[in-house]
Amino acid sequence: MILYWREPAWFWVSLLPLLPMLWTFLRHRSIWMRMVDPSLRPWVEAQARQGHHKTGQVALGISWLLLCTALAGPRTPRLIPPAVQPDAAVIAVVDLSASMAARDVRPDRRRHAQAMLDDWVAQLPASLRIGVVVYAGHAHRLLPPTADQELVRHFVRELDSIRLPTLGNDLGDALRLASESLAGADTPGGRHLLLISDGDLGPDAQRAAETAVGEWLPSARIRLHVVGVGGAEAVGVPRTATEPLVIDGERIVSRRDARWLRAFAGRVDGDYHPAEAIVGWPLGRVLGLPGPHIDPADNDRVLWDEWFGLPLLAGIVIFVMASSGKRAGSGARATAVAALIAVLSGGCGREVLVDASGDQARAALDLGDYTRARSLYAGRDGYDARFAEGVACYRLADFPCALQAFAAAAWQAPDDTARGRAAFNLGNTHFRLGDFEEASVLFAEAGKLGVSPELTAINREFADSLAATVRRHLADVAETQRRADWRAAAREMPEVMRDRLAEGIRLSTRFAGPAALAVLSADELSLLVARGIERHRDGRGGASAPGRHWVKSEGTVAPEGTAGLFNRLLPMEVGILSVPGEPYRIEGSRPW
């Protein structure tokens, strides 16, 4: 976690004690030089007392530095809105050709690449969106760029089970498809293409890839990063767990072509990393991304955790220890300072409030007994009772109850200020229920009624970004349904059309999905996105709710997980109307 400072100029104040210390040192030195011969000076000074004096000075200096640190305001970000931290997008282009089954790395090249991706996704920065493109004889986009860590990890873990329908090494087509996916993404933080391959391509495929990388990447301002997997020595390529791959009577062997991969990356000023050299690296380091930075102008848009109390407490304690010594009354002074520390730092426990009027409902609310407070306020009338009941319900996570209470409070508010408070909390309740669009409207209304513009702007921005995330998830599901409907239609085609399959058939049409929007990676916000999707599924997402978009099972064969679905859809994507038992060879192309 990166530490930020609210008022870093206070660190200059920490240097002030150096001025009197320097003046005192020079003054004493001048006095000693006038009064005592340098050779006699050690016999005149009291060494023990001098040592104690220096220890006290060092302690006071440390105390002063800690107090200045507290004034500088150390803080760490709790939640950073997407607009504050520009996001970057990366497409992982994964080689799934036959040579990636070689076992010169454990367990094999394909699963080694899969494990690297899985480790990187586990530490995915919040400002980074990642998508996946795979290729063999043809290229296929599995996932457009998204910051949904769990979604990316799910697709990465399915890579081992995905079977591409054609043999070959069409890296050029994969570069084109990845570039198109990145070109449509609004990424102020930059676009990156991460190629994971053994580099074992035939001469024709290498030339096609070199042409594609020069044509597609520079125009889209995409940075290329190449990770080479495999060993330098030639090993046999297996066809199954027990059988070698034999083509035209010749057993196929493969090695990592590090020389070509390095030269390939250098064509567009990219970088090359052998897989064994970047073990343990985070993805941000592999991509050369700068560390997260928050511009000072955006400080008011970030939710912070403030840590000034820790150096303040330590500075006061060290000051008391350095100044009290064994003098009388030091215990009383220490007690007074400890009380001051408790006041400044907010104390160590819960503050107990006593209501002088004897109001049991207010006392229960202040003490955190929200169940009792809700029960007591439910029997009262008026704005204050409805608002307090809403607070109690909200604290108990009973959001439907809070929704009714805050709505009633807004209608019964005596003035605009009170109505603004109720509208703001009503927006928070809609937010918790996953109704982000309604929450955004209420936050805007609360701002017009006098609630802090900074606070309403922050909450509205989070609501808008989560609403956009829900729309993106639903669009992805709708795309999945479209593919499934396509497959269902293909199942009804006459058998004679199914028989007209031949090697080399290729479908050039691609569907370009919209760019994914950056989302927050916090577990709680992920749960909120799920609630928003659930509201749309249940038809409660407003007038514009798209309704249910989940894939229907009627007329289709239920696939076995995500990989099973792709194994049925990818053949149709390249013009093959049935699922082949073995990948097809493409005429004129090397099949591994």
Higher pLDDT, 326 or 96: 96
Burial class (CB in 10 A: 0-12, 13-18, 19+), 268: middle
Higher pLDDT, 400 or 339: 400
Tell me if the bond preceding 107 is cis, omega within 30° of 0: yes
pLDDT tens-digit series, residues 491-510? 444 443 333 333 332 222 32
Other Cβ atoms less than 10 A from the Cβ of 374: the count is 24
Range name among 29-33, 168-172, 253-257 with the lowest pLDDT average: 29-33
Q: Residue 23: is its pLDDT beyond 60?
A: yes
pLDDT level of residue 562 (50, 70, 90 thresholds): confident
* Most confident region among 16-20, 240-244, 436-440, 526-530 by mean pLDDT: 436-440
Higher pLDDT, 522 or 199: 199
CA distances in angstroms from 85 to 124, 301, 305, 400, 454, listed in the order given: 14, 11, 17, 34, 18
pLDDT level of residue 228 (50, 70, 90 thresholds): very high
- Give the mean model confidence (pLDDT) for residues 378-392: 89
pLDDT of residue 278: 93
- What percentage of the chain exceeds 70 in pLDDT? 74
Q: What is the pTM of this model?
A: 0.53
pLDDT of residue 337: 52
Q: Residue 222: is its pLDDT beyond 80?
A: yes
pLDDT tens-digit series, residues 36-68? 666 666 666 554 445 455 677 788 888 888 988
pLDDT tens-digit series, residues 445-499? 888 888 888 888 888 887 887 787 777 777 776 766 666 565 555 444 444 333 3
- Maximum distance among all Cα pairs of the chain, rounded to whole angstroms: 116
Higher pLDDT, 555 or 414: 414
State CA 543 to chain mean position distance: 31
Residue in the block written with tokens 């790395």: 105
Contact status, residue 161 vs residue 177, Cβ threshold 8 Å = no
Q: Residue 339: is its pLDDT beyond 50?
A: no
What's the rounded Cα separation, in Å, for the pair 379 and 386? Answer: 10
pLDDT tens-digit series, residues 133-162? 999 999 999 998 888 888 899 999 999 899
Q: Residue 257: is its pLDDT beyond 90?
A: yes
- Give the mean model confidence (pLDDT) for residues 318-340: 58
Q: Residue 185: is its pLDDT beyond 70?
A: no
pLDDT level of residue 186 (50, 70, 90 thresholds): low
Q: Residue 256: is its pLDDT beyond 60?
A: yes
Tell me phi and psi for residue 197, to 5 degrees.
Answer: -155, 165
What's the rounded Cα separation, in Å, for the pair 545 and 455? Answer: 28
* Residue 244 DSSP one-character state: B
pLDDT tens-digit series, residues 109-124? 999 999 999 999 888 7
> What domains can you pick out in the chain, each with its CATH number?
4-77+308-345 (no CATH), 88-287 (3.40.50.410), 413-556 (no CATH)
pLDDT of residue 524: 62
Whole-number average pLDDT of the chain = 77
- Give the mean model confidence (pLDDT) for residues 550-563: 49
- Give the mean model confidence (pLDDT) for residues 2-14: 84
- Give the mean model confidence (pLDDT) for residues 5-15: 85
- β-bridge pairing 235-236 and 253-254: antiparallel
